[in-house]
Amino acid sequence: MKTALITGCSSGYGLATAQRFHREGWNVIATMRTPRRDDLPVGDRLTVLPLDVTDPASIEAAVAASGPIDVLVNNAGIGAVGAFEATPMSVIRELFDTNTFGVMAMTQAVVPQMRRRRSGVVVNVTSSVTLTAMPLAAVYTASKMAIEGFTASLALELGHFDVRAKLVEPGYGPSTRFTANGSQRMEGVIPEEYAAFAEPIFAAFGAPGPVTTGDDVADVVLRAATDDSDRLRFPAGEDAVALAQSA
């Protein structure tokens, strides 16, 4: 029975992914900063561990407690939107610490065991912002685009050892806690000079149209984790698929 370690499982895409892997019969290591079992499956195939992907000691402890890992799903992420010129460098560093360096740190912690076994998959969850330019998302996009390039190169390196690296690119999911989690970072990042520009963009976020659900992402993460081809990118959600096809 294979084991998947999934980061950021407290809500949203990570929670849905943990649920899906468990239903498919996997051993699941569900990690989050503050461990809780709300909405997670009950059973001996699921372990909940504390993990802060920005803390080296936390990463070391979680990986040591997990045992052999067949699939690493780097899902944990934070968001923020706003005018770049008004975004504090502290917020920029916070996004990169989790979305970029956190992914790299987790990958570096797990890859050695996969390399030794000559088996394993790293699935990095990015965003549909990597598929097309979007306004008021420069920092978030940069943090995710870095992982796109990182994963493409990593796939070539690890392929020599029969280890695969994949990208899952979710579309916009307003039903997740992701947007709410970014609200404090967004305070003051839309200066008066940008108000007229930003108003219709934010209004469009709530407009009817295709959106991405947790189940959409969970399905695609599982598909990527079990794909043995050289395919690198897997858009998730109707909106993301449409963007990928038009790119």
**Main-chain dihedrals φ then ψ at residue 138, nearest 5 degrees:** -60, -45
The residues assigned a catalytic role are 140
* Distance from C-alpha of 187 to C-alpha of 230, rounded to nearest angstrom: 42
CB 122 within 8 A of CB 107: yes
User: How far apart, in Å, are the Cα atoms of 147 and each of 142, 168, 247?
Assistant: 9, 11, 18
Give 247: exposed, middle or buried? Use CB within 10 Å, 0-12, 13-18, 19+. exposed
User: How far apart, in Å, are the Cα atoms of 15 and each of 6, 40, 134, 204, 208?
Assistant: 9, 7, 27, 27, 25
* Distance from C-alpha of 177 to C-alpha of 93, rounded to nearest angstrom: 21
